[in-house]
Structure 1
Amino acid sequence: MKHIRVAGSSSSYISVFSLFKADFQLIDANAHEMEANNVRNKNLASSIQGKLQQQSPLRSHHSIFRVPNVLRNDNERVYVPRLISIGPLHHGSKLQTMEGIKLWYLHCLLQRDQTRKTGLEHFVEAIRDIEQDCRDSYEEQIDMSSDDFVEMLVVDGCFIIELFRKSSGEVPTKEEDPVFHKSWIHTPLINDLLLLENQLPWRVLDRLFDLTLETSAGNNNHISLPEITLRYFEVYSLGMLSRTYRASGSKHLLDFIRNSLIGWYQSDDAHMPLSLFKIPSATELAGSGIILTTGRKYDGMLNKTFEDGVLRIPPIRVCKNGESLFRNLVAYEQCETTTGVSKYASYAVLLDHLIKSKEDVELLVKRGVIENFGDDMAWLLNNLSNGIIVYNFTYRRIYENLNTFCGTRWDRWHAYVRAAFRIYFRNPFELMNFTNAVFIVTLLTLIQTTYSVASYYKPQQ
């Protein structure tokens, strides 16, 4: 073995070997550390791999959602149930008053027809068959056992069906029924049943409805589930439910109401991102000569038209649950990926642009666009479109035509004349009264002017 001799003392050999030994130890430590890191990296990668979702969380079969915080915008009260919980998202909350009523309603349903061949076992079996499909309807992972989940669907679904039948008169109500004999329950209950977070899949209601049809003699003319649902919500659904309801394809109660409100709505094909596209307020439009009036109610609340200086808006009824229903419809549309065009979001933007002050509300009430039943209309002034993202604004063409019209002086003057004749001269008597009034005012003004001139030139005594 050949040694390297370093000039100096004999201790130089020892120093060199010590350096080599330290280097080897450092290399060995680095190798161990790298191996340990590789193991940790593999374990972490395996852990992440186990958490990966093979499908997008925004799958098309999701239809019941938590309202995103960006849409809540300090309006928690219009999204969270106050009286009754329906479905799993608020199940087990402190809303216990109605839990006993649910079970009592189920008891009444089962006891009413002693000859019924169906019963709880049939209900459970029918809902168990669609359990996974129902779980998939919710965007959130439902942390409930199979039995608890099916029980909840059966109890909640039977309560809703029994409620609808009692409300329609198909089933008699009892004097001790608090739902119909305590006035404070009625409106909050309707409100809670139309919350996005408080829904059951429509399939649950459909199956239970068919299973609970009365079979006794003389009671064969049954109201369908869509019609009985329409009857229950009609007064408290912005006054705009279309008789041409479309139950097929409905995903839950809120979705059914949404489809009914749309009616025969034909979307403007000139969609565009909203950006800074705006129109003047209602009073400003009227000041520009545009006539604001109502459209046909049963065409659907979304059908707006602007033609020959006339902006037609189907009437919207302001009820106690109006804000909650409207905001939940918008939230549903914002969460649902299959609804396509932003219909209700566009409508919210339109209302925001038209209504900037109480004067705007008063004008729309006067024109019949808003049917005010004495309820608080402050929500119409409360920034309805805050937090809303409008990808396809459906009123682009109307906006363009309104802005063009407002910018044309001749059209504005022509509209003033046309509006005057439509408002004041609807019959010969109004025209005669108007003419007489103009003549009298002109005559009085002329007499006053003559008297003033004569007094000024009167000779001094």
Structure 2
Amino acid sequence: MWRKNECYAEPIGYSPNEFVRILVIEGCFIIELFRKIAYKELREKNDLIFTGDWMFLFLLHDLILLENQVPWIVMDRLFNMTMDPTHNKPLIELVKTFLHTFLFTESLMATLLSQIGSISSIFEQCCLDCEPRFTSYAILLDNLINTTKDMDILCENKVIDNWLNPDDAVPFFNKLYYNTHLKKEIYY
């Protein structure tokens, strides 16, 4: 059984019932958001999250804050409990769609991801049994990319696509896994 103190570095200032209630509400909100991103027909016509650019950017910033992370095990259980037979992509596919659609766009790359410091903290850093695939990949990219020439070589050989100016991309990749901890060996 999952216990809240096993997943958080500091004590949680809520009773167990309050804490579970918060996780359920936030988890359901995130799952609904992911589904609405993947399935546009689920969006209401006047949904402020999708009609007001400022609201979505505010929400993105809020989602990436470490203190707002919902453990993957909670997300997975809530997702399975709310499965819809007509919209049945697995949770990991919805997360990939979210990341691809909103976090890997040119307009957000210099802003939001530089504030995160690490994409791996979203999945791996909050789950004890998670394999460090993203963090390992971030470490690999950091070791491969140290100069604009490195970036040019990787782009020319179609190893990566770079939507940034090479002078901006190098520091981005060099701090991609900033403030993360590698729990196990490197995969790549």
TM-score normalized by the length of structure 2: 0.65
How far apart are the structure 2 equivalents of 1:360 and 1:325? Answer: 23
Q: Counterparts of 2:94 and 2:139 in 1: how far apart (Å)?
A: 32
3-state SS in 1 of match to 2:42: coil
1:324–1:344 distance in 2 versus 1, CA, 3 Å:
farther
Which letter does structure 1 place at the counterpart of 2:59? L
Map Cα deviations across residues 270-302 of structure 1 (whole Å, 9 max, x no partner): xxxxxxxxxxxxxxxxxxxxxxxxxxxxxxxxx
Who is 1:145 aligned against?
15
**Structure 1 gap ranges (5+):** 1-129, 215-219, 240-316, 396-461
Q: CA deviation digits over 1:206-245, x for unaligned, max 9?
A: 444455456xxxxx42314424343333334659xxxxxx
Q: Which has the larger radius of gyration?
A: 1
Cα distance in 2 for residues equivalent to 1:136 and 1:153? 15
Give a deviation string over 1:329-352, Cα, whole Å, max 9, x none.
169767866556x65555444433
CA distance in 2, matches of 1:207, 1:337: 16
Where does the alignment leave 5 or more consecutive residues of structure 2 unmatched? Answer: none
Partner of 1:432: none
Compare relative contact order (CA 8 Å, sep 6+) and give the higher one, 1 or 2: 2
1:223 matched to 2:88: yes
Which of 20, 25, 30 does residue 160 from structure 1 map onto?
A: 30
Superposed CA offset, 1:226-270 (max 9, x none): 24343333334659xxxxxxxxxxxxxxxxxxxxxxxxxxxxxxx
Q: How many residues align?
A: 182
Contact residue 237 and residue 325 of structure 1 kept, 8 A: no
Aligned residue for 1:327, secondary structure, equals coil
- State whether structure 2 residue 163 is matched by structure 1 residue 373: yes
Q: CA shift at 1:325, angstroms? A: 5.9
The amino acid of 1:148's aligned partner reads E
Residues 370 and 184 of structure 1, relative CA distance in 2, 3 Å threshold: farther
For residues 259-274 of structure 1, the aligned pairs below 5 Å read none
Contact conserved, 2:148 with 2:166, CA < 8 A, in 1? no
Query: Within 5 A, what are the aligned runs for 1:36-435?
Result: 133-134=3-4, 136-169=6-39, 172-187=42-57, 189-190=59-60, 192-213=62-83, 220-226=85-91, 227-236=93-102, 320=109, 321-323=112-114, 327-329=118-120, 338=129, 344-374=134-164, 378=168, 380-381=170-171, 383-384=174-175, 392=185
Root-mean-square deviation over aligned CA pairs: 4.2
Note the C-alpha offset of 1:163.
1.6
CA contact (8 A) 2:125 2:180 kept: yes
CA contact (8 A) 2:71 2:126 kept: no
Aligned to 1:92: none
Instruction: Rate the CA distance shift 1:233–1:343 in 2: closer, same or farther, 3 A.
Output: closer
Q: CA deviation at 1:134?
A: 4.3
Assess, with a 3 A threshold, how the Cα gap between structure 1 residues 369 and 323 changes in structure 2: closer, same or farther: farther
One-letter amino acid matched to 1:149: F
Note if contact 1:161-1:205 (Cα within 8 Å) is conserved in structure 2: yes
What letter is aligned with 1:378? D
Cα deviation, 1:5-42, whole Å, max 9, x if unaligned, reads xxxxxxxxxxxxxxxxxxxxxxxxxxxxxxxxxxxxxx
Deviations 1:62-119 (A, max 9, x none): xxxxxxxxxxxxxxxxxxxxxxxxxxxxxxxxxxxxxxxxxxxxxxxxxxxxxxxxxx
Please tell me the residue identity of whatever aligns with 1:153: L
The CA distance in 1 between the partners of 2:118 and 2:45, in whole Å, is 35
How far does residue 328 in structure 1 lie from its aligned partner after superposition?
Answer: 4.1
Amino acid at match of 1:360: D
The whole-number CA distance in structure 1 between the counterparts of 2:168 and 2:79 is 39
Contact 1:153 1:204 survives alignment (8 Å): yes
Q: 1:422 maps to what in 2? A: none
Query: Structure 1 residues 363, 200: closer, same or farther in 2, change over 3 A?
Result: same
- In 2, Cα distance between equivalents of 1:347 and 1:207: 27
TM-score normalised by structure 1 residue count: 0.32
CA distance in 2, matches of 1:195, 1:213: 27
Pairwise CA distance, 1:142: 0.9
